[in-house]
Amino acid sequence: MEINFCPRCAHPLEDRALFGRVRRACPSCRYIFFIDPKVACGALIERGAAVLLIRRAVDPKKGYWALPAGFMEADEGPIAATMRECREETGLTIRVTGLFGVYTLSGDPDKKGVIVLYRAVPESGKEMPGDDASEVRFFKSNELPQNLAFASTRRVLFRWCVEQADR
């Protein structure tokens, strides 16, 4: 992302060595532009020995399977974002039962960041695709689809399958 003018005072920015790397900075008001990562939140929703996946209805990776997830808004916390995204994409209200892990986002070069992934169970609602999902389905570990959307989804499901085998 290239930013050329200061968002505070509109002065042209310059490249400066600051805090261990070259950053865009304003010589007038001393504003420093930091490229901050995006934060996504999602859930590994379990029902018995099965996990819920959505088939993506939009790019990136349209038609591929992923965990229900999306970007956190500035006015919500990660659990609230997870619950909202799951309701929007799956029709389900979930109960978060714990943190599953934090992973690097991958798959879309324009969206650098992390995904905070919670373990959850369905509480109410009916499984229905919504928002950017075309299908919602629970899979057992031996039924998982091969066309998974993102490397982070593959890493999470690999760990989940190992957990299932240990049970």
Question: pLDDT, tens digit, for every residue of 62-110?
Answer: 999 999 999 999 999 999 999 999 999 999 999 999 999 999 886 556 6
| Upper half-sphere CA count for residue 68 (Cβ side, 13 Å) | 38
Tokens found for residue 113: 């960041």
Tell which residue, 130, 132, 120, 12, has the closest CA to residue 71: 132
Q: What value, to the nearest 5°, has the Cα angle with vertex 139 and ends 138 and 142?
A: 170
Fold of 1-35: Ubiquitin Ligase Nedd4; Chain: W; (2.20.70)
Let me know: does 37 contact 15? Beta carbons within 8 Å: no
User: Residue 1 has what pLDDT?
Assistant: 63
Model pLDDT, residue 36: 83
Q: Where are the domains of the chain?
A: 1-35, 38-166
Phi first, then psi: give them for residue 127, nearest 5 degrees.
-60, 110
pLDDT at 153: 92
Q: What is the pLDDT of residue 109?
A: 60
| DSSP tag of 10 | -
What are 166's two structure tokens?
Answer: 């240990």
Check: CATH 2.40.50.140 for 38-166?
A: no
pLDDT at 104: 86
Residues of the chain under the 50 pLDDT cut: none
Write down the catalytic residue from 127, 135, 143, 163: 135
- Catalytic (active site) residue 143: no
For 65, the 3-state DSSP assignment is strand
